Structure 1
């Protein structure tokens, strides 16, 4: 045992004598930088895959007032009821995007009609683009924070709390209140996502799969940080 201890001490002394402290620190910093680049790249790749294969719905209220929030939910219901009929036969993301683009004016018109019916005169702006989203759970499916393709409907000033769902695959049209998503919707997800992406969104809260949870948290952390920095820069400039 003493011989081993002496050998370890001798090796430590050799490292101290042969490798300058600055070199050790430099190697450590390079390793940290490489790890940061790797994790960021991994996060971006996962978010890119999810964004390219999902279309989300984003409804933004005029304000956080109770009346405006209730109005947002009613507008949401009108849009979902309409889109459910228009997208019932759509099994392809490109076709779904074409339907949304085709019906953009109709979506605005329906939203305005509901707003007018409730005695308000808010303007409505709908567009299809890439928008930031926080981490969101839909039953037992969880999407990490990131930038996603989305139909965004802004009511009035658009200064109120948001509401989100997924138009493709059609998570908007299923009941996720009981904590589960139907097997048919999961099958659609499995067909359009990579195996790893599917594991991440369906196993993020599984205590039995720690590696999946770690990967989910990596994507969530880097994408959420990116969104917060973008929002901060937007307010400054």
Structure 2
């Protein structure tokens, strides 16, 4: 049986398309794996990290609102410093240098809110309950942190990582109580839920696959 030249041409065209599809699929999957690995390693909290924790007086809405106002003012002030130093000691010195200013900001914020309690600002190793940060769990213990305690410090708190600057108004977690009982779900961050990255990742993956499928379809059109 004799195979025509046209059949050979059709076979090689289809084979070429299949090779292109496999290469595109391989590159696509390689890129996704690389991005996921980079995100996982880049978001880990290192041993020499300096955290920030702002603890509300209580869980009353009014006290939580006061905490959020203090958080916003302190975050804006810290962001005005510019890039965080590249070493732990330099970052600690910078924060220490600004402690009196932060204390004054807290005092002014509480006075403006008209509350009867004060606030205490320290940079030290302070107790943290077990935390979950961007999918990774961190055991309870003493961690270096800029801690701002408002009043009795018995309410839910806001926290994130100052050094290295993994977050500030980005993904964070919160406690149920300052005593250390962990909240069942991560608390809301300044700009959204702590789970906000998961829908974005799913959307990114879907977009990549959608474009890949469109490309494959174009080869056979």
Give the TM-score of the pair, scaled to structure 1: 0.50
Q: Distance in 2 between matches of 1:164 and 1:149?
A: 12
Which 4+ stretches in 1 moved above 6 angstroms?
Answer: none
Counterpart secondary structure, 1:150? strand
The answer as to whether partners of 2:51 and 2:145 remain within 8 angstroms in 1 is: yes
The answer as to whether partners of 1:87 and 1:96 remain within 8 angstroms in 2 is: no
Counterpart secondary structure, 1:79? helix
How has the CA–CA distance of structure 1 residues 150 and 56 changed in structure 2, closer, same or farther, with 3 Å as cutoff? Answer: same
Larger Rg: 2
Q: Which runs of 5 or more structure 1 residues have no equivalent in the other structure?
A: 1-49, 181-237
**How many aligned positions are there?**
131
1:73-115 CA-to-partner distances (Å, cap 9, x unmatched) read: 2111211111122252422111111011111111111112222
Give the TM-score of the pair, scaled to structure 2: 0.53
Q: Which residue of 2 aligns with 1:100?
A: 95
1:166-218 CA-to-partner distances (Å, cap 9, x unmatched) read: 111113335324236xxxxxxxxxxxxxxxxxxxxxxxxxxxxxxxxxxxxxx
Q: Offset at 1:54?
A: 0.6
Q: Distance in 2 between matches of 1:143 and 1:83?
A: 25
Match for residue 116 of structure 1 among 108, 111, 126: 111
Q: Distance in 1 between matches of 2:86 and 2:111?
A: 34
Q: Which residue of 1 aligns with 2:66?
A: 71
CA RMSD, aligned part only?
2.1
Q: Distance in 1 between matches of 2:100 and 2:82?
A: 16
Within-5 A mapping of 1:122-133:
122-133=117-128
How has the CA–CA distance of structure 1 residues 149 and 87 changed in structure 2, closer, same or farther, with 3 Å as cutoff? Answer: farther
Bigger helix fraction: 1
Q: Distance in 2 between matches of 1:130 and 1:51?
A: 15
The answer as to whether partners of 1:101 and 1:128 remain within 8 angstroms in 2 is: yes
Match for residue 82 of structure 1 among 55, 77, 84: 77
Matched, 1:148 2:149: no
Q: Offset at 1:160?
A: 2.0
Q: Distance in 1 between matches of 2:80 and 2:117?
A: 26
Q: Which runs of 5 or more structure 2 residues have no equivalent in the other structure?
A: 1-44, 172-193, 199-221
